[in-house]
Amino acid sequence: MQKIRVAIVVVEGVLPSAVLGLRDIFYLCNLYCKKEDEREFVCSYLGLDKEVSLSGLVLETKPVSEDKRFDLIIIPPIVGEKDLLIEADLRQWLIQSYHKGSVLTAACMGSFLLAQTGLLDFKRATTHWLLEERFKKRFPKVLLESEKILIDEGIIITAGGVTAYIDLALYLIEKELSLETANRSAALLLVDRGRESQKCYKDLSSMILIKDTQIKELLQWMKINLKKPLKIKTMSKKMGLGERSFVRRFKAEVNITPNQYLQNLRIEEAKALLINSMKSFEEITYDVGYSNESSFRRLFKRETSLNPGEYRKKFKFS
């Protein structure tokens, strides 16, 4: 019986846990989960060198080649602050593989490499929510939907988030074999299937990518003074700027307006209180400086994809 040939692309900065984890998922599927009449997955590590060192772990890789055809090609999550640049040989191989019928897939920052082939232009794709603005600026032709966990465009599939490589692997098992086998694999791994949105994981008040130290100090001050009626006039005065200049500078750095960021802060504080307290959502609404409980509930659902009760149940440990 013909096997399903899987190429796991290994480049500098790729997460070792994802590289090994992908192979393990397909191995366990072959060993315990697939039906007798279903095909086996055969995984290969591919790269530009004979071996790649990943945080001290040395992996032997086969060179990317025009001659070999794979059914599935996976670019795992990659970690790095710099803009990823794809090597010409890898770019060419991915394009040729696509035209030969290989299914190209990527998880998290791996989507940045895939986007550089041009094959994602005018197609829907996802990546980690934290990388949304960075991706949009670099690849404006890609129809980014960063709230999605996984997007299937037929012969190109992208997944958002570091651990979304697990969602991706299980989805590929379903696509290549069967829903039953994918669910059996998920049960073996103790993994819940059916995640569709990154919204409930997104930190709406993240300051990781903020470089303007004065703006960053203001964001911290806003968080401390969340319950107070924070007006544009007050914030601009604290920055020593006129109101229009302040809003322009804030939006240029944070990508949203001060009032939108304040709204995000309140949602983040509400999420923390839902997890770490037994307060009702009505109490939480007033604690975060919001006056209307029903409108804040609608806002919370819109931004997290869960209502407050669902959010508490999903993330509260006890």
pLDDT digits (tens, 9 = 90+) for 95-154: 999 999 999 999 999 999 999 999 999 999 999 998 998 899 999 999 999 999 999 999
CATH of domain 4-199: 3.40.50.880
The pLDDT tens digits for 247-293 are 999 999 888 899 999 999 999 999 999 999 999 999 999 999 888 99
Q: What is the pLDDT of residues 208-251, one digit of tens each?
A: 668 888 999 999 899 889 888 889 999 999 999 999 999 999 99
Task: Quote the pTM value.
Answer: 0.83
Q: Hey, where are the domains in the chain?
A: 4-199, 213-315
First CA to last CA distance, the chain: 49
Residue-by-residue DSSP string for 125-173 = E---GGGHHHHHHH-TTSEE-TTBSEEE-SSEEEE-STTHHHHHHHHHH
Burial class (CB in 10 A: 0-12, 13-18, 19+), 16: middle
Query: Looking at domain 213-315, does it have CATH number 1.10.10.60?
Result: yes
